[in-house]
């Protein structure tokens, strides 16, 4: 059923697009505009005919604006059923006008609490009371009332007003009502999370995510899937990540692409030097740093060219023309490339390379991933803080007779950062700042050592080894030493640590205990 819009109540903190929208409502469709505080001032300053909400309520804003719309004159006009004669008669008896459109986008609570150093008083003053009430009332009565909670909805309303001679469809009203309830839910989640705080875990975990895009399918073609981004993420200045990255080229992303892109980017951002990472099936098969990004890419790809075929590439710096040329050299096939940015010439090269390769731009990388880490299990949810900020090389302890050389120590530190992003049981072999072999996801740690050694081939000679967790038996050291490994970094903490240390001393290896484990299940 079509419903005309004759009267609109506007109360917004984000005034993006507001004046143009209101001008069209008023000038083209004769909609009466009623507004609160700053919204009314903005419309009046633009020369639009607008009434102050107090003209409707007969009551001024009080308590520094905390109370302005909480009044029967507002809620009767919103909640009255237009097809119920007794409701309309009540409005008539009390001289209360119908309100057909509510435009409200709430106080910026999420943006406020995201600011460094925000005080509790500032947070509290940005908890909207009247806004959510108006939105809920309008959404509840969507059969008659239209509610807009985001500027992106304005054009759709105007389009319907034009198509339906000043009215909007029930379908639109219902869709916008659903969006309104979702907006209030997200808002309440943000407030709940703020007051729940840390280190205490909230008794109830509320999550809010917005649909980014439906996906063709999930991990496998018979599974349906969609990608959601964290609600309010743009309020944190578009934290650079896969969820906020812009796609510049290529076909749509798949479920597995997104998982691999996230893994690759999170490893690449570990390094301050130019770095390149190659990920395949959610494990890095190549990673390297170098003074030039093109060299870092070449070394990363050469770490395991066989596995790199069809992989995901991540860079921590702008892709320049030389790096793009390196990508295009040889018979390479990659699914996706993600980087902070692309030089114009590099982007042109990559766009002309293959029509399906997906190119993503994150903007400048700024620190590690943020927020909590969630994992769904049947009937429950696991929540933990992210594995960030636990790398302190000054706390490493050499436990063998032989100290690692400066070059070996630098290589161990590099391998350790990579190892943290490999599925357990994780073993990483490195020469300098180049990964030459990875053993991932094995049930036995010595099997991971065997796989890494096999992947490294002849390059295992003189390499260093990083293990994400302690060695339960000395067989890991014996196998590594036999292959030519010269130094090892591992957390320590096993009841058989002494056996591993003794094995290193027998073989002349250096071993450092990191004191930190990096399981990645």
Confidence at residue 236, expressed as pLDDT on a 0 to 100 scale:
38
Could you tell me which of 428, 429, 431, 454 has the C-alpha nearest to residue 441?
Answer: 428
Among this protein's residues, is 140 annotated catalytic? yes
- Using CA atoms of 374, 280, 420, 461 in order, give the dihedral in degrees to the nearest 10: 170
Confidence at residue 372, expressed as pLDDT on a 0 to 100 scale:
83
CATH 3.30.43.10 fits 240-384, yes or no: no
CA distance 70 to 386: 42
Confidence at residue 234, expressed as pLDDT on a 0 to 100 scale:
43
CA distance 68 to 464: 68
Catalytic residue among 71, 87, 206, 281: 281
Confidence at residue 62, expressed as pLDDT on a 0 to 100 scale:
63
Among this protein's residues, is 431 annotated catalytic? no
Same CATH fold assignment for domains 3-196 and 393-513: no
Q: Which two tokens stand for residue 67?
A: 């109370």
CATH superfamily, region 3-196 = Methylglyoxal synthase-like domain (3.40.50.1380)
- Give per-residue burial for 28-38: e unless 16+ CB within 10 Å, then b: ebebbbbbbee
103 to each of 7, 98, 153, how far by Cα in Å? 11, 15, 10
Residue 281, CA atoms < 13 Å, CB-side half-sphere: 6
Please measure the distance between the N-terminal and C-terminal CA atoms of the chain and give it in whole angstroms: 53
CA distance 197 to 187: 16
The pLDDT tens digits along the chain (521 residues) read 888 889 999 999 888 899 999 999 998 899 999 998 888 899 999 999 988 887 776 666 766 666 666 677 777 778 778 887 887 787 777 777 888 999 998 878 777 877 788 887 888 888 878 888 889 889 999 888 999 998 989 999 999 998 998 988 998 999 999 989 888 888 887 787 777 764 467 777 777 788 889 999 999 999 999 999 887 544 334 689 999 999 999 999 999 999 999 999 999 999 999 999 999 999 999 999 999 999 999 999 999 999 999 999 999 999 999 999 999 998 899 999 999 999 999 999 999 998 899 999 999 998 788 778 899 999 999 989 889 877 889 999 999 999 999 999 999 999 999 999 999 999 999 999 999 999 999 999 999 999 999 999 999 999 999 999 999 999 999 999 999 999 999 999 999 999 999 999 999 999 999 999 999 98
pTM of the complete model beyond 0.85:
no
Could you tell me which of 184, 178, 101 has the C-alpha nearest to residue 146?
Answer: 101
Catalytic residue among 15, 71, 87, 140: 140
Domain boundaries along the sequence of the chain: 3-196, 240-384, 393-513
Spell out the residues 6+ positions from residue 382 whose beta carbon is closer than 8 angstroms to its own: 374, 375, 376
CATH 1.10.10.410 fits 393-513, yes or no: no
Confidence at residue 69, expressed as pLDDT on a 0 to 100 scale:
65
Q: Which two tokens stand for residue 487?
A: 């130094």
């Amino acid at each position: 059923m079509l419903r005309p819009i004759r009267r609109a109540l506007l109360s917004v903190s984000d005034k993006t697009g507001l004046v143009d929208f209101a001008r069209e409502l008023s000038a083209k469709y004769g909609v009466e505009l009623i507004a609160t505080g700053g919204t009314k001032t903005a419309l009046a300053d633009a020369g639009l005919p607008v009434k102050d909400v107090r003209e409707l309520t007969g009551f001024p804003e009080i308590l520094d604006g905390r109370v302005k719309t909480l009044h029967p004159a507002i809620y009767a006009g919103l909640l009255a059923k237009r097809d119920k004669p007794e409701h309309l008669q009540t409005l008539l008896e009390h001289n209360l006008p119908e309100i057909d459109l509510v435009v409200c986008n709430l106080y910026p609570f999420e943006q406020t609490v995201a600011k460094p150093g925000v005080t509790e008083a500032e947070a509290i003053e940005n908890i909207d009371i009247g806004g959510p009430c108006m939105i809920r009332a309008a959404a509840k009565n969507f059969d008659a009332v239209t509610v807009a909670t985001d500027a992106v909805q304005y054009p759709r309303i105007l389009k319907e007003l034009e198509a339906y001679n000043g009215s909007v469809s029930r379908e639109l009203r219902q869709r916008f009502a659903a969006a309104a309830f979702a907006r209030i839910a997200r808002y309440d989640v943000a407030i709940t999370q703020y007051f729940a705080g840390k280190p205490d875990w909230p008794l109830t975990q509320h999550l809010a995510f917005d649909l980014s895009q439906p996906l063709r399918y999930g991990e496998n073609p018979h599974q349906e899937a969609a990608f959601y981004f964290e609600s309010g993420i743009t309020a944190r200045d578009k934290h650079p990540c896969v969820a906020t990255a812009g796609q510049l080229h290529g076909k749509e992303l798949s479920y597995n692409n997104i998982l691999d892109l996230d893994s690759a980017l999170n490893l690449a951002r570990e390094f301050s030097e130019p770095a390149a990472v190659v990920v395949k099936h959610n494990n890095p098969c190549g990673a390297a740093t170098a003074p030039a990004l093109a060299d870092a890419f070449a070394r990363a790809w050469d770490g395991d060219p066989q596995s790199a075929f069809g992989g995901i590439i991540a860079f921590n710096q702008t892709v320049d023309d030389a790096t793009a040329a390196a990508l295009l050299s040889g018979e390479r096939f990659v699914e996706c490339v993600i980087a902070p940015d692309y030089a114009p010439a590099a982007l042109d090269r990559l766009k002309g390379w293959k029509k399906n390769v997906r190119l993503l731009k994150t903007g400048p990388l700024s620190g590690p991933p943020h927020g909590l880490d969630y994992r769904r299990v049947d009937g429950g949810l696991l929540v933990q803080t992210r594995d960030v900020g636990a790398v302190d090389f000054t706390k490493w302890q050499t436990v063998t007779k032989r100290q690692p050389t400066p070059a070996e120590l630098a290589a161990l530190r590099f391998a350790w950062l990579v190892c943290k992003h490999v599925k357990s049981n994780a073993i990483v072999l490195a020469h300098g700042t180049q990964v030459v072999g990875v053993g991932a996801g094995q049930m036995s740690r010595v099997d991971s050592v065997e796989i890494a050694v096999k992947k490294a081939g002849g390059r295992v000679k003189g390499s260093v080894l990083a293990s994400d967790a302690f060695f339960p038996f000395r067989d890991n050291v014996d196998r590594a030493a036999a292959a030519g490994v010269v130094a090892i970094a591992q957390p320590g903490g096993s009841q058989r640590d002494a056996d591993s240390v003794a094995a290193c001393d027998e073989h002349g290896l250096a071993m450092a205990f990191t004191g930190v484990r990096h399981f990645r299940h």
